[in-house]
């Protein structure tokens, strides 16, 4: 597999894909797969579910590619909209479990071993993901879209199907809730870092 190292811009790739070039599909996939996975994982906090959502989203996007209109939105935003819709379906089918710190740590450890020097970052990540798991789905979606790739409020509104003011308000509410959730965890974080030394 080539790995999708293709310098063409996204719209050229889309045109090439629509004309039947398989390599263009592959290049599009490789260009966005990482972002889609992180988005799905950030919202669902479950690796297996995120993997399924990514595959389903790409399969749908490639089938519906001729319906994508570059004048309406960026391809990235269109893909995120598809992904978010599938995340919601996934969430509807099963209640999200309460995320336990140990579970998150285990999942992250399963993805990539963490060097000791990054224990602080690792622990922060565990705590933040745990806090994210306690937000309502709407707030979580908004804040994940905001921070995993610096989407503007207009883009967040586009993906979530709401006005940009609503998106901004959800991010602000998520911020307040996260601050409360994280504030209580900061002492634990410091304790954890000291105890691992």
Partner 1 sequence: MGHIKHLIIRYVDGELSAEQEKRVRTHLAACPACRRALDQQTRVSSDMKLTLRYLPAPGPARVDAWWRAIRQPTPRRRTVVFVPVLMSLALLLLSMIGPHQQAYARPASTTVAAAAPALNTTLYPPSPAGNDASPSDAGVMPAEGGAESRLTEAPTPAPERRSPDYAEPIVSPVPPPVQTTKTR
Residues 3-32 that bind partner 1 (CB under 8 A): 3, 22, 25-26, 29-30
Q: Which of 14, 17, 42, 99 binds partner 1 (CB under 8 A)?
A: 42
Q: Tokens at residue 156, please?
A: 């967040």
**Separation CA 87–CA 1 (nearest Å):** 28
Which 156-195 positions form the footprint of partner 1 (CB under 8 A)?
168, 171-172, 175, 178-179, 182
Cβ nearer to partner 1, comparing 72 with 135? 135
Q: Which of residues 92-121 bind partner 1 (CB under 8 A)?
A: 108, 111-112, 121
> Residue 65 interacts with partner 1 (CB under 8 A)?
no
| 41 scored as a contact of partner 1 (CB under 8 A) | yes
Nearest distance, CB of residue 65 and partner 1, angstroms:
13
Q: Least distance (Å) from partner 1 to the CB of residue 8?
A: 18
Q: Which two tokens stand for residue 155?
A: 């883009």
164 burial (CB, 10 Å; 0-12 / 13-18 / 19+) is middle
Contact positions vs partner 1 (CB under 8 A): 1, 3, 22, 25-26, 29-30, 33-34, 37-38, 41-42, 51, 54-55, 58-59, 62-63, 108, 111-112, 121, 124-125, 127-129, 132, 143-144, 146-150, 152, 168, 171-172, 175, 178-179, 182
């Amino acid at each position: 597999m080539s790995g999708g190292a293709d310098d063409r811009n996204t719209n050229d790739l889309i045109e090439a894909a629509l004309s039947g070039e398989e390599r263009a599909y592959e290049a599009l996939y490789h260009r966005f797969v990482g972002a889609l996975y992180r988005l799905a994982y950030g919202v669902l906090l479950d690796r297996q579910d995120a993997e399924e959502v990514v595959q389903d989203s790409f399969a749908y996007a490639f089938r519906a590619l001729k319906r994508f209109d570059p004048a309406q939105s960026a391809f990235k935003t269109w893909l995120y909209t598809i992904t978010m819709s599938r995340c919601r379906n996934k969430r509807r089918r099963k209640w999200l479990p309460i995320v336990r710190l140990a579970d998150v740590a285990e999942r992250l450890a399963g993805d990539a071993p963490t060097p000791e020097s990054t224990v602080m970052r690792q622990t922060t990540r565990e705590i933040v993901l745990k806090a994210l798991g306690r937000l309502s789905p709407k707030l979580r979606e908004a804040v994940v879209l905001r921070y995993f790739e610096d989407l503007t409020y207009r883009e967040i509104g586009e993906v979530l199907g709401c006005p940009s003011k609503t998106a901004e308000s959800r991010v602000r509410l998520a911020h307040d809730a996260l601050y409360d959730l994280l504030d209580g965890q900061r002492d634990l974080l410091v304790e954890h870092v000291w105890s691992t030394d």
